[in-house]
């Protein structure tokens, strides 16, 4: 009897665990990126957008002696000269269970864009991120670590940034109506002679009427 009860409980737990794990096993949230030496380089926040997962840069860690890069001057297209904080680095990731494929990853240091795929650990605490050329075999992976959901307050999360608009500043100003050449006013026009200046016509008294001879 006790064995049957224990078996039933164990079966129930085994059936419930995958559904519970599956509900939390997504890439959404904050992640800490570090290099092969374990040095932290940046924090990212992942979110699902229109059925795809994307990761934005939300915090940078600059090593001593290295310059702080604030804009992506090497990026192309819509991300040209966009602020680094809030820049979308991982894009277009389609979820297949714990795996994410068919995406891309941006290297803001030189503006290069690579194919990318990710895989989430079973406990949801590690994310393997791999960028590659042509095929996954020709690539490199990093293991990112999940951060707490309150790693950054919502109001402090950098928004998705757009490129800086410099064209409007470089545009030549149009001349204002005040700068236009003035048109001559009617006063400057040559005056027309008045009727008084016209030659007078002879009156009837001055006209000699010939007298016919009888």
Residue tagged 């410099």 (tokens): 166
From the CB of residue 55, how many other CB atoms can be counted at a distance below 10 Å? 27
Confidence (pLDDT) at 188: 52
- The three-class DSSP label of residue 45 is strand
The per-residue pLDDT for range 127-182, each reduced to its tens digit, is 999 999 989 998 999 999 999 999 999 999 999 876 555 433 444 444 444 554 55
Tokens for 94? Answer: 């389609």
**Which pTM value belongs to this model?**
0.65
> CATH class for domain 26-159?
mainly beta
Token code pair at residue 105: 């990853």
Q: Are 80 and 88 in contact (CB under 8 A)?
A: no
The residue count of the chain comes to 214
Considering only CA atoms, which of 1, 48, 42, 14 is closest in space to residue 29?
Answer: 48
Q: By the 8 A CB rule, do 75 and 85 touch?
A: no
SS3 state at 47? strand
DSSP state of 78: G
Residue 190 — very low, low, confident or very high, per pLDDT cuts 50/70/90?
low
Backbone dihedral angles phi then psi of residue 49, each to the nearest 5 degrees: -140, 115
Going from N- to C-terminal start, the domains of the chain cover: 26-159
Are 43 and 59 within 8 A, CB to CB?
A: yes
Residues 105, 114: Cα–Cα separation, whole Å? 5
Mind listing the pLDDT tens digit for each residue in 79-97?
Answer: 999 999 999 999 999 999 9
């Amino acid at each position: 009897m006790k064995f049957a009860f224990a078996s039933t409980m164990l079966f129930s737990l085994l059936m419930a665990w995958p559904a519970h794990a599956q509900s939390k096993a997504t890439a959404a949230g904050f992640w800490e990126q570090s290099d092969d030496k374990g040095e932290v380089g940046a924090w990212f926040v992942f979110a699902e957008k229109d059925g795809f997962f994307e990761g934005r840069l939300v915090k940078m860690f600059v090593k001593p002696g290295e310059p702080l890069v604030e804009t992506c001057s090497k990026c192309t297209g819509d991300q040209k000269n966009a602020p680094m904080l809030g820049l979308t680095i991982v894009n277009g990731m389609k979820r297949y269970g714990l795996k994410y494929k068919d995406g891309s990853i941006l290297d803001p240091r030189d503006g290069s864009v690579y194919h990318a795929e990710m895989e989430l650990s079973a406990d949801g605490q590690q994310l393997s991120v791999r960028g590659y050329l042509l095929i996954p075999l020709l690539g490199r992976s990093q293991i990112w670590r999940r951060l707490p959901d309150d790693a950054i307050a919502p109001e402090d999360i950098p928004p998705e940034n757009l490129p800086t608009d410099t064209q409007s500043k470089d545009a030549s100003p149009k001349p204002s109506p005040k700068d236009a050449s003035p048109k001559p006013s009617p006063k400057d026009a040559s005056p027309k002679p008045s009727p008084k200046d016209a030659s007078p016509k002879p009156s009837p008294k001055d006209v000699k009427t010939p007298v016919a001879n009888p």
